[in-house]
């Protein structure tokens, strides 16, 4: 099986985490450990049915894993692997942007230095004006 495409995984992670309720659910799982939808409903101001729908979306993105528990209850736990892939994707973008922004900054600095030296030279050679002469 080929390794997952970084951009596809990152897109799924960002889409799943775009919703504040899903971020809250993921935070509760990270803090309290594996939990059922009922456990999470006791912690958050949202119904068990709504939590179940959000958990399905988080599971589709690979951010949570469903594990069968006792009495047919499903416990969900955080899966950090997709977040690690999304972080790597962002780091690669940052490197690309940092490189481009660094080149831009160097070009602007060179132009500013060149411009200040060009303006300083003509001023020294310029004839005196009425403003420059003391009364």
Predicted TM-score (pTM) of the model is 0.67
Please count the structural domains in the chain: 1
Kindly state whether residue 129 falls inside one of the protein's structural domains.
no
Kindly state whether residue 11 falls inside one of the protein's structural domains.
yes
pLDDT tens series, the chain, 135 aa? 777 788 899 999 999 999 999 999 999 999 999 999 999 999 999 999 999 999 999 999 999 999 987 787 899 999 999 999 999 988 988 887 777 888 888 888 888 888 777 665 555 555 555 555 555
| Owning domain of residue 53 | 1-116
- Measure the CA–CA gap between 93 and 80, rounded to whole angstroms: 20
CATH of the domain at 41: 1.10.10.10
Residue 43 structure tokens: 């912690």
Query: Residues with Cβ < 8 Å from 43, sequence gap 6 or more?
Result: 28, 32, 35
Kindly state whether residue 96 falls inside one of the protein's structural domains.
yes
Kindly state whether residue 91 falls inside one of the protein's structural domains.
yes
């Amino acid at each position: 099986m080929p390794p997952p495409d970084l951009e596809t995984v990152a897109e799924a992670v960002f889409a799943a985490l775009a919703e504040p309720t899903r971020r809250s659910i993921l935070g509760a799982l990270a803090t309290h450990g594996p939990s059922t939808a009922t456990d999470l409903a006791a912690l958050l101001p949202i119904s068990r049915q709504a939590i179940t729908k959000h958990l399905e979306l988080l599971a589709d993105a690979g951010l949570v894993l469903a594990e069968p528990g006792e009495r047919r209850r499903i416990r969900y736990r955080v899966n950090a692997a997709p977040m690690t892939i999304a972080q790597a994707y962002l780091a690669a973008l940052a490197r690309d942007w940092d490189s481009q922004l660094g080149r831009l900054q160097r070009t602007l600095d060179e132009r500013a230095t060149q411009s200040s030296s060009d303006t300083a030279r003509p001023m020294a050679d310029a004839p005196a004006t009425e403003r420059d002469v003391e009364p």
